Amino acid sequence: MILKTFELSRITGDNNFFLLYGKNEGLKTECINQILKKNDGKIYNYDEKRVRDEIESFYENILSGSLFENNKIIIINRASDKIFDIFQDLTNREIANIKIIINAGILETRSKLRSLFEKNKDLICIPTYPDNNETLSKLSASFFKKENLPISHQNINIIVEKCNGDRNNLNNELEKIKNYSFNKKKISSFEIFKLINLSENYALSELIDNCLAKNNSKIIKILSENNYNPEDSIMIIRTFLSKAKRILKLAIQLEQNNDINKTINAAKPPIFWKDKEIIKKQLSKWKPEKIKDLINNLNDIELEIKKDYQNSMLIITNFIFENSCLEVSN
């Protein structure tokens, strides 16, 4: 059964199989999050290659029950017709307490997997087409209104043109601007132009996520692969501050309910499914008081790099390895 992206409210608890296909990764991510909101359970992430290489353990995971898990949600990324036979088989089995979400790229009309989902009323098929500029402009305007950050239509058009019809790209650009504009009342056209023309391999969000998760080898890899310069320094610090404050809020909630899954699933704004595992690791590394210390140190570092701009990246790199990468004791 084909559902348009605006028809997801029609999904019920009786729907167990979902196929999302198309190039719009941002829209697919939003749709997957909406599906997850309607279904509780432990999430297992696969890609197509792993499913095919580990077919026996994949079936065992789906078909075996557990005293400790009432529900399972299986997400399979980078899927194609190569797993058609597997899913044709699964749809003919009695499977309880399992939801399977297939995240595929472009599937042509002759695709067997797409046809299977389109023709069966019990299977949900959700095509995601590129967003047009009008849709992205509305999303951008709504974002800036929510953030109480004045911006001209001209600047919104500049941002939208950069995104090539994909709201995932848009969300990345908006996150850059949000982090940069922290505590600012307005942002200039020049600042926006600089922000959206940062190198494609910026990997800034990934760098900070791994700093907070204390993945030292990953941090070193990102720093070595990206040629950061002093102009990037304020963005790095403000992204660090934004993510640290999010972890502080979650850590306080976790201390109150002592349930990490409940804490993450109840987060506002919602945490994307693909970010949940690294946020769990971050929460395992940081207690609220330690995060408060980190936030205070970040504020001091921002003042320091403004005074010594030319050496700002050296200051930030030293800070990362002397502070955020150290194991934090309970």
Taking the C-alpha atoms of residue 258 and residue 251, their distance in angstroms, rounded to an integer, is 10
Q: Is residue 42 part of a domain?
A: yes
Domain boundary among 196, 223, 241: 196
**If you average pLDDT over residues 288-299, what whole number do you get?**
92
Domain boundary among 159, 178, 196: 196
Residue 228 lies in a domain: yes
Please say which residue of 169, 196, 223 terminates a domain: 196
Angle, in degrees to the nearest 10, between helices 312-319 and 233-257: 20
Residue with tokens 């995971």: 61
Residue 67 confidence class, pLDDT cut points 50, 70, 90: low
Q: Which domain holds residue 139?
A: 133-196
Residue 26, judged by CB atoms within 10 A of its CB (0-12, 13-18, 19+), counts as buried
Q: pLDDT of 226-285, one tens digit each? A: 777 787 788 888 889 889 999 999 999 999 999 998 899 888 777 877 788 999 999 999
Average pLDDT over residues 54-80: 84
Q: What is the mean pLDDT of the chain?
A: 85
Alpha-carbon gap, residue 3 to 295, rounded angstroms: 44
- Residues 176, 243 within the same domain: no
Tell me, what CATH number does 41's domain have?
3.40.50.300
The verdict on residue 179 lying in a domain is yes
Query: What is the number of H-type helices and E-type strands within the chain?
Result: 16, 5
Domain of 305, CATH number, reads: 1.20.272.10
Whether the predicted pLDDT of 172 surpasses 90: no
Residue 330 lies in a domain: no
Q: What percent of the chain has pLDDT over 70?
A: 92
Query: What are the tens digits of pLDDT across the range 102-133?
Result: 999 999 999 999 999 999 998 999 999 888 88
Say yes or no: 139 and 251 in one domain: no
Residue 181 lies in a domain: yes
